[in-house]
Amino acid sequence: MRIPVESIHLPNGLHVVLSEDHTAPIVAVNLWYHVGSANERLERTGFAHLFEHMLFQGSANVAANEHFELVQRAGGTLNGSTWLDRTNYYETLPSNQLALALWLEADRMGRMLPGLTQQKLDTQRDVVKNERRWSVDNQPYGTWWEKLPALCFPDHHPFHHSLIGSMEHLSEASLDDVADFFRTYYTPDNAVLTVAGDFERADALFWIETYFGPIARGGPRPPLRDMSVPPTFGTTLREVVRDAVALPRCFVICRTPVFGSDGYYAASLAAAVLGLRTGCRLEQSLVRRQRVASQATAFTYDLAKGSDLLVVDATAHPEVSPARLEAAVLAELDAMHQHGVTEAEVTRARALIETSFVTGLQTAAERADQLSRFATYFGDATLANDQVARYRQTSAADVSALARERLGPDNRAILLYVPAEEPAVVDDAIPVEATA
């Protein structure tokens, strides 16, 4: 299953990707800016994400809240998201509204600052603080997604600090910060624009050149701080978090090869053998046979810089102690580290990943997002079409080798959530079993 891909570079550096598909009169526009929380100054954590909110607040020719209204009035859906090393903005619309979507994206890429006011910044700052309260502070386990990178990347590493940011840093963000960030990172030469779905090539190119062509290339960008980390932690790191939670929950994280590398596909398959759907080891062993976990999954973070992370996430069965849960998870990692995986396990994992990949391609938004991802990280959108083949080329022996190198006790970070009222007893002799 291959999707059509054409890449064009405008003179101002904008990387344009086109993927025509006339199945339904729907078109997706998807912009990735190669900037995320990794680019923030350490005294402005959360700023990349706050900035994303500001980009919906209007521009020279778009009033406050009009961006949302115009897309919805056109019959479209839209949103944006901020990640460690990229920020994306996307809309899916009836195909006769493509020009409007391109014009809106170009107006904010080229002319955001005339629309900026202190009041808009103050409002979005409070909205983001409420987003933080909602997703982190008032959620059981809600801190896991800032504690996990903090544990796995050293102080001052660009991935170490919180993406949603601290309340103090959000309070300090100024209009000057917004303007500087915009001028530095929101430039055509730091972006990928993908259009996928029902459009005529000549029309799309005309609108893209008309709207985006005049936007000036950006100046030099400050280089990212050093991303490199050793391939393993060199030890087992461990952090215990007492929280208002009902059941213990254990994350175990291993450093793994970056997204897109050969080793990444082995790590992705290892995660699937461990923790994808029902036939995986964690579900069969921890949830079903041993009944120490009420849920257990594993996944990769898909980081394309520095190091990727393979994450095991298991929540205890009622009455099971944190220590017993942790021991059971580690026993499964030990088993895979020492004995590798079977051909059948990898076949199962590959089959599930392949179906989910092909199923995902049914939406224009997903096709556009995949193309933008590969164009942003590797400069080559056509790599999106190689994903199934890359998984097929990865053998059970490759997965076993990855497990031998990366899943051992010298490469684990443990993040253990413990109910606040749980007695602080450490069981040090816990009988364990694991997948043979």
Partner 1 sequence: MSESGLSVPLPGSPARPGAGAARPYHFPHFVTRILSNGLRLVIARMPAYPVVTTLAVVEAGATRDPRDVEGLAQLVTRALLEGTRDMNALELASRLEMLGTTLDTGADWDSAIVQLTALSSRVDDAFAVLAEVLRYPSFPENELARLRAERLADLQQLRAEPRGLSDVYFSRLLYKRASRFARLAGGDEASAPRITREAVVAYHAEYYRPDATALMIIGDIDVEHAVRLATTHFGEWAGKAPPVTEPLDEQRFNEPRVHLVHKADAPQSEVRVGHVAIPRLHDDYFPVVVMNAILGGLFSSRLNLNLREVHAYTYGAHSAFDWRRAASPFEISTAVETAVTANALREINVEFTRIREEPVSEAELSLAISYLVGVFPIRFETTAEVAGGLANVEIFRLPTDYFATYRDRVSAVTAQDVLRVAQTHLDPSRLQVVVVGDATAIEASIAALELGAVTIYDPADADVDPALDVSSSSN
Contacts of 43 (CB under 8 A, 6+ apart): 169, 172
Closer by beta carbon to partner 1, 366 or else 380: 366
| Beta-strand relationship, 191-197 and 235-243 | unpaired
The nearest distance, CB 234 to partner 1, in angstroms, is 35
Please identify, using beta-carbon distances, which residue of 175 and 229 lies nearer to partner 1: 175
**CB of 13 or CB of 140, closer to partner 1:** 140
* Structure tokens belonging to residue 162: 């919180």
| Assigned token pair, 123 | 């409002």
CA dist list (Å): 171 to 22, 133, 143, 348 = 47, 14, 20, 49
Q: How far apart are CB 358 and partner 1 at their closest, in Å?
A: 6
Q: Please state the closest distance from residue 18 (CB atom) to partner 1, in A.
A: 17
**Which lies closer to partner 1 via its Cβ, residue 74 or residue 430?**
74
- Residue 362 is encoded by which pair of tokens? 């049914």
CA pair distance 40, 315, nearest whole angstrom: 33
Tell me the closest approach of the beta carbon of residue 275 to partner 1, in angstroms: 13
Cβ pair 275, 336 in contact under 8 A: no
Distance of CA 252 to CAs 144, 276, 329, 363, Å?
12, 16, 8, 33
Please tell me the distance from the alpha carbon of residue 295 to that of residue 249, in angstroms, as a whole number.
Answer: 9
As a dihedral over the C-alpha atoms of residue 358, residue 361, residue 363, residue 368, rounded to 10 degrees, the angle is 160
Q: Minimum CB separation from partner 1 for residue 54, in Å?
A: 13
Q: Locate the DSSP E strands across 57-100.
A: 77-82, 87-94
Least distance to partner 1, CB of residue 156, Å: 29
| Residue (of 331, 333, 330) closest to 341 by Cα position | 333
204/190 Cα distance (integer angstroms):
20
Q: How far apart are CA 178 and CA 12, in angstroms?
A: 22
Select 42 or 244, whichever has its Cβ closest to partner 1.
244
Task: Look up residue 59 and give its DSSP letter.
Answer: B
Q: In this complex, which beta carbon is closest to partner 1, that of residue 112 or of residue 309?
A: 112
- What is the Cα 77 distance to its own chain's centre? 20
CB of 267 to partner 1, least distance (A): 20
The residue among 133 and 156 lying less far from partner 1, judged by its C-beta, is 133
For the bound state, the minimum distance from the C-beta of residue 110 to partner 1, rounded and expressed in Å, comes to: 8
Q: Which is nearer to partner 1, 214 or 379 (CB)?
A: 214
